[in-house]
Chains A and B, each alone.
Chain A
Amino acid sequence: MKPSLITDHPFGEDYAKRLGVAPWRGHLPGPKVEEWRFTPLRSLAKIAFVPATADIDVDVIPRNVPKVPGAVRLVLVNGVYRKDLSDTDLGKGVELSHGKVAAKEGSSLVALNAAYAPASLALHVNGKAKKIIHIISIGAAGPTPTALHPRITLTAEAGASVTLVESHVGLPGEAYFSNPVASITVGEGASVRRYVSVDEDSEDFHLATSLVKVAGGGTYEGFHLGLGGALTRQEIRVALTGENANVRLNGAYALTGTSHHDITTVIDHTLPNCTSNQIFKGVVDGESHAVYQGRIHVARDAQKTNAQLVHKALFLSRGPQVDCKPELEIYADDVQCAHGAATGEIDPNHLFYLAARGIDPETARSLLVEGFLADGVNEIGDEAVREIFGAAIGGWLKRRQA
């Protein structure tokens, strides 16, 4: 018998009580919190989610999880590491452990995660990891709406490098609320590439927080793909804690139905000579609602900062809503900072150009959408992953046409 999540791990119900997070609904940020103004959680708070149990019977990995060539698969079901479904050989330089979850850091959602997360899936990278690490987080509610709190910790030592792919998917059943937290530490001169895909069912909730620290000379490359869910938020907070650190954070989303998708990024430049680049692009269809908030904070000491940010959204129909809030908060004078944002629909001239070459309107639109999102996807440094994510978008377009 598998252990019950709440009673058997060291941070059980008592811990939740001590943190004051139970009942968890009282712990959700309200609409008056500025960072949540575009993403109200009313629909989430209406559902009585129960804490997840791991004893649900899962022995297959859902079909929409891509196969990353040569990657090591690590599987989480309802936030619990499942050795029986995972690969064991992580390759040289990577160690897996089950860390305790540090309490009380960050937002209320992170605290909620800390209170309920069974244990952290901790990866320790020392040296250059040969294999891509593919973490598959499966939400399985079964007959009752379920809340799950996956926790991932990645530490890349000085000079180390690793590529991580995360697939967040769900199994059929009742709705679930996934509240994953990823803590990532990039050591001096280290390089971490992390590609996250959220492809969940239209009734599922996903509020993810990524807390990234990049030390001097380190590089962090993140990509976040969003392809649905009832309400998805990917919040990425990056602190540059050493000089010459470099962040590239990109993403793409494609929404239909009544999906709500929120990307919130905060880049904190505290020291000189760091760079950050962000490109986020999305298409919206149906009655969906896309939110992008990007904040760049440049502290007084962070001279010679170069920070760029672009968000563009494309409307595919009448009905969606796009809210965008790029934000610059700058206290140093010798900096180059810029942000750009734009929304619009497909240019009829482009459609005409393709139609004149014998391409039917639907295919033409798909081509243009793919081309539009490619700006973001092309930023993915790993070629195999780039193709996989591109294919996922292609799949979304096909489903939309069908």
Chain B
Amino acid sequence: MAVTRETAATVRDIEQYKYGFVTDIESDMAPKGLSEDTIRFISAKKGEPEWMLEWRLKAYRYWLTLSDEEPTWAKLQFPKIDYQASYYYAAPKQTPKLGSLDEVDPKLLETYKKLGIPLLEQQMLAGVAVDAVFDSVSVATTYKKKLEEMGVIFSPISEAVHKHPELVKKYLGSVVPYSDNFYATLNSAVFTDGSFVYIPKGLRCPMELSTYFRINEKNTGQFERTLIIADEGSYVSYLEGCTAPQRDENQLHAAVVELIALDDAEIKYSTVQNWYPGDADGKGGIFNFVTKRGACRGKNSKIMWTQVETGSSITWKYPSCILQGDNSVGEFYSVAITNNRQQADTGTKMIHLGKNTRSKIISKGISAGRADNTYRGLVRIGAKADGARNYTQCDSLLIGDKCGAHTIPYIETRNPTAQTEHEATTSKISDDQLFYCLQRGMTQEEAVSLIVNGFCKEVLQTLPMEFAVEAQKLVGISLEGSVG
């Protein structure tokens, strides 16, 4: 009996979302609902200049003309979102200016600890600078000085609006215009904070830049806005990782990420997304509607997206590359895991405009439980993209007979010298492989984790080391309870 009890307890522990806790910090909230007043409130809170407010209002007025017309083409089902029932701004209360980490609310620091981001230690560790976003406002930025000395700007975007208005004005909305899509427009109107990165000419950023987003206040939609500019000949690797506390109500998340790579520049953007996926019946969980797009503006530039998507109840996300510069390269590596009642509709767009542009898409979708997992991608070769090259591989793995895996690629070619290739397969874990592992004394779950990790290897390998370790564990955790 003792053994049974122990097993039951273990199962309970596993089933509970590891990062599901709520920190009790007083919030400075905007009035509920969305109106011009809300936007003025957000803008005033941040002491933004007039042009920024005007930009937000322009987006908001455009959003009104969309009259709640959310995109419906994705293979996703979710209840209608009441945009007037959310709070659009919540900032942790804090002392006016922080001199050092000691001044940060100890409760906040406690939260980070639970999340496994000991800021104090991390300063010393591995050369990772962490810009932690806690409910929309960056509270602590580390390693800033060191980066500043090299000319790297790594700051909250709200700060960049004040300190580097010329850069923000020039690039904000230049890849994802405010009129791009429903969620991007909403984000443009109400975005609260996010990261801003500028890498000066010829500099290879010596450390991985990293941000943790965290959704905390109840009913708070999160609207991050990230802008990364890699000037000529520079290189930067940016990490984004996410965990969120457990909630019963659906939380809306509509972020926008814009990347700009000039001549010979390279940006590597990696994401591990592990937001609350809802419980086994699909209750709760995050709605994740993200617009991520990079522009390879300069010749020989390169943008590489890597994503490991294991969380959220709804994922709507298509990190894309616009390959404008000649010889530019776009790459997309993705692992999307859906379990229970999660739904993911994710993929990429590769728009080839310049000559000899190359793109590579590797997508691995794993679907278990009653989940639906869709790859949706576009490869477009413009008439002037001589010698363009695309290779796409989409593999889906089904675990269990109640889930779905779908592949919807669009391939549009207007240039004869371009070569495009697309391959997609769908299969399940083979009984032979499972048998082999079980026979060698592994448990069913260990075996599945191992096999799935092998299936995803091509993608996980492209992650920076810090993330790769975490991601491998995540793959296993996400699929717990899906077999047997």
Binding site for B on A (CB under 8 A): 34, 300, 303, 313, 315-318, 320-345
Contact = CB atoms under 8 A, between A and B. Distances in A.
Contacts of B399: 333
A57 to B, nearest CB: 44
Contacts of B420: 341-344
Interface string B404-427: 111111111111111111111111
Contacts of A333: 398-401, 403, 428
B182 to A, nearest CB: 16
A330 B401 contact: no
Provide the main secondary structure of the chain B interface. Answer: strand
Contacts of B45: none
B473 interface: no
Contacts of A300: 401-402
Given A340-B421, A344-B419, 19 more contacts: A300-B401, A315-B413, A316-B416, A317-B416, A320-B416, A324-B413, A325-B411, A326-B407, A327-B407, A328-B406, A328-B407, A330-B396, A330-B426, A331-B404, A333-B399, A337-B426, A338-B423, A341-B420, A341-B421
Contacts of A317: 416
Nearest to A324: B411
Nearest to A345: B416
Given A321-B414, A345-B417, A332 B401 contact: yes
Nearest to B424: A339
Given A317-B416, A323-B411, A340 B406 contact: no
Contacts of A335: 398, 426-428
B417 A326 contact: no
B428 A313 contact: no
14 contacts: A313-B413, A315-B413, A316-B416, A318-B416, A322-B414, A323-B410, A328-B405, A330-B398, A330-B406, A333-B428, A334-B401, A335-B428, A340-B421, A342-B419
A322 B403 CA distance: 33
B422 A342 contact: yes
B73 interface: yes
B424 A338 contact: yes
Which bucket holds chain B's interface residue count? 20 to 34
A34 B376 CA distance: 14
Interface string B385-398: 00000000000101
A318 B424 contact: no
B425 A338 contact: yes
Question: Which 7 pairs of residues, A with B, have the shortest CB-CB distance?
Answer: A315-B416, A333-B398, A341-B422, A324-B411, A328-B407, A337-B426, A344-B419
Given A328-B407, A333-B400, A334-B428, A340 B422 contact: yes
B317 to A, nearest CB: 19
Contacts of B424: 326, 328, 338-340
A323 B409 CA distance: 10
A329 B408 CA distance: 8
A340 B423 contact: yes
A397 B421 CA distance: 26
Contact of B413 (A34, A329, A339, A343): A343
A315 to B, nearest CB: 3
A282 to B, nearest CB: 12
Nearest to A326: B409
Contacts of B415: 315, 318
A224 B413 CA distance: 22
A287 to B, nearest CB: 11
Contacts of A344: 418-420
A334 B426 CA distance: 9
A312 B474 CA distance: 38
A333 B406 CA distance: 12
A276 to B, nearest CB: 14
Nearest to A328: B407
A335 to B, nearest CB: 6
Contact of B409 (A337, A341, A343): A341
Contacts of B428: 333-335
B81 to A, nearest CB: 23
B90 to A, nearest CB: 38
Contacts of A338: 423-426
Contacts of B411: 322-325, 341, 343
A167 to B, nearest CB: 30
Given A300-B401, A338-B423, A327 B408 contact: yes
Contacts of A327: 406-409
Nearest to B427: A336
A339 B393 CA distance: 10
A343 B417 CA distance: 9
B412 A339 contact: no
B404 A330 contact: yes
Nearest to A292: B411
A328 B394 CA distance: 11
Nearest to A321: B414
A339 B421 contact: no
A326 B416 contact: no
A317 B417 CA distance: 9
A85 to B, nearest CB: 43
A336 B397 CA distance: 11
Given A336-B427, A338-B425, A323 B404 contact: no
Nearest to B395: A338
Contacts of B73: 34
Contacts of A318: 383, 415-416
Contacts of B403: 331, 333
Nearest to A318: B416
A323 B410 CA distance: 7
Nearest to B421: A342
A323 B421 contact: no
Nearest to A297: B406
Given A321-B412, A328-B406, A343 B401 contact: no
A315 B396 CA distance: 31
B412 A323 contact: yes
Contacts of A313: 413
B406 A329 contact: yes
A337 B407 CA distance: 11
B425 A325 contact: no
A334 B431 CA distance: 11
A342 B381 CA distance: 13
A343 B385 CA distance: 14
A328 B424 CA distance: 9
| Residue among B398, B403, B411, B421 with most chain A CB within 10 A | B411
Nearest to A298: B426
B282 to A, nearest CB: 17
A389 to B, nearest CB: 25
Contacts of B413: 313, 315, 321-324, 343
Nearest to A291: B412
Contacts of B408: 325, 327-328
A150 to B, nearest CB: 32
A38 to B, nearest CB: 8
A145 to B, nearest CB: 30
A321 B418 CA distance: 11
A326 B419 contact: no
Nearest to B404: A331
Interface in B23-37: none
A298 to B, nearest CB: 8
A343 B406 contact: no
Nearest to A295: B408
Contacts of B426: 328, 330, 335-338
Given A341-B422, A342-B422, A343-B419, A329 B401 contact: no
